[in-house]
Structure formats: C-alpha cells, structure tokens
Amino acid sequence: MLHDYLTLVWVFFKIGLFSFGGGLAMIPLFIIEFEKQGWMTSHEFLNVLSLAQVTPGAIAMNSATYVGNKVQGIGGGIVATLSLASPSIIVMLVLSKVLAKVKNHPIKEAIFNGLKPVTVALILYAGFQIAQTTFFKGQTYDLEWKPIVICITIAVIQHFYNKLNPIFLIMLSAILGMVLL
C-alpha cells in the first residue's frame, strides 16, 4: 500500500515537473504513464478528460484527482493532486523571488515586452479554439445557433454592465445552456 502511494507521488510529480506550456501539455504524458502503470486505458482516460472539462478547476488537476481516487481512494486522490501541483509550486516560489529582484531591470522589461504580445495572441487563440468546438457541429462547418445566441447575449450584457462579476455570467450561461440546448 505504501508502495502504491509512492508510485502515485513519483508518476504525478514527474509529469508536473516536465510539462511546459500549461495543463494541456500534460495530457499525452498522462496517457503514456497511466497505460504503463496499468491504471487506465487511453479510451477510459478520454472519458475522464471529458468529465475534467465540464467540472470546475484546472483540467490536469481534475484528471489527477480522478485517477488517484481510482488507484487508492480519497487518500490517493489527494496524494496524486498534490504531487502534480508541488513541482509548479516549488519552482514558482523560487523563480518569483528571483523575478522580484530583477523587477525593474531593463533586460527583464525587454524580454517581457516580447513575451506579452505572444501571450495576448495565445489567449485569443484559446478563445478561437473554444469558439470552434462550441459554435460548429462536430468537425463540420454547420453552425450551432443556440450557443451563438448565448454568446451574443453574454457579450451584450457585459458590454452594458461593465462591473458585473464573471461568476454571475458563468452561472447565467450554464442555466441558459440547460434551458435552451
């Protein structure tokens, strides 16, 4: 049993440490490791992934909690999730202290002046990708009208009520989704 926990720690810590570019970069590593450990087939994992997307929280963390629960119960879920998160936390704690020291250094400013436009492009691209899977039917170019109506409704509301909490908009759109779709 201790051995099972240690395997969970090792597998998730390793994935957490070696994935760059956000949670989505972890998915291929998950599939390889879970099959290797005999925890889950790739087909099963894709089901877990669709659950991890519709529930709140980071997708990678949700997947880790699910798989940990499957392998070792609640304790396994906690161990897997914390193991996946801890490399980020450790690395970030160290790096943010370094970054604070060079906060106004011209070279740091210059590098971030190049990074910031790339980040805005990445955020916009993430928006495109969500739009693509939301507004079109499957792999076709047939438009799904109801999600488009929801999107326009939310866009109009947030334009006129600038200070509205996005949590309210998320809950409203979930209800609209259940009623309309």
Give the CA-trace dihedral at 84, 88, 93, 95, to 10 degrees.
Answer: 160
Considering only 42, 126, 143, 161, the residue that binds another protein (CB under 8 A) is 126
Considering only 36, 118, 140, 160, the residue that binds another protein (CB under 8 A) is 118
* b/e per residue 99-122 (b: at least 16 CB within 10 A): eeeeeeeeeeeeeeeeeeeeeeee
* Rounded CA separation 173/120 (Å): 25
Considering only 20, 43, 101, 139, the residue that binds another protein (CB under 8 A) is 20
- Measured from the CB of residue 76, what is the shortest distance to another protein in angstroms? 10
Using CB under 8 A as the binding rule, whether residue 134 contacts another protein is answered as yes
Using CB under 8 A as the binding rule, whether residue 57 contacts another protein is answered as yes
- The owner of tokens 């609640």 is 74
Using CB under 8 A as the binding rule, whether residue 21 contacts another protein is answered as yes
Using CB under 8 A as the binding rule, whether residue 119 contacts another protein is answered as yes
User: Exposed, middle or buried: residue 37 (CB in 10 Å: 0-12, 13-18, 19+)?
Assistant: middle
Using CB under 8 A as the binding rule, whether residue 167 contacts another protein is answered as yes
User: Could you give the 3-state DSSP secondary structure of residue 57?
Assistant: coil
Using CB under 8 A as the binding rule, whether residue 72 contacts another protein is answered as no
Using CB under 8 A as the binding rule, whether residue 70 contacts another protein is answered as yes
* Rounded CA separation 149/42 (Å): 35
User: Could you give the 3-state DSSP secondary structure of residue 130?
Assistant: helix
Using CB under 8 A as the binding rule, whether residue 2 contacts another protein is answered as no
Using CB under 8 A as the binding rule, whether residue 85 contacts another protein is answered as yes
Contact string (CB under 8 A) for another protein, positions 97-116, x = contact = x-xx-----xx-xxxxxxxx
Using CB under 8 A as the binding rule, whether residue 131 contacts another protein is answered as yes
Measured from the CB atom, the residue of 8 and 82 that comes closer to another protein is 82
Residues 27-46 that bind another protein (CB under 8 A): none
User: Could you give the 3-state DSSP secondary structure of residue 143?
Assistant: strand
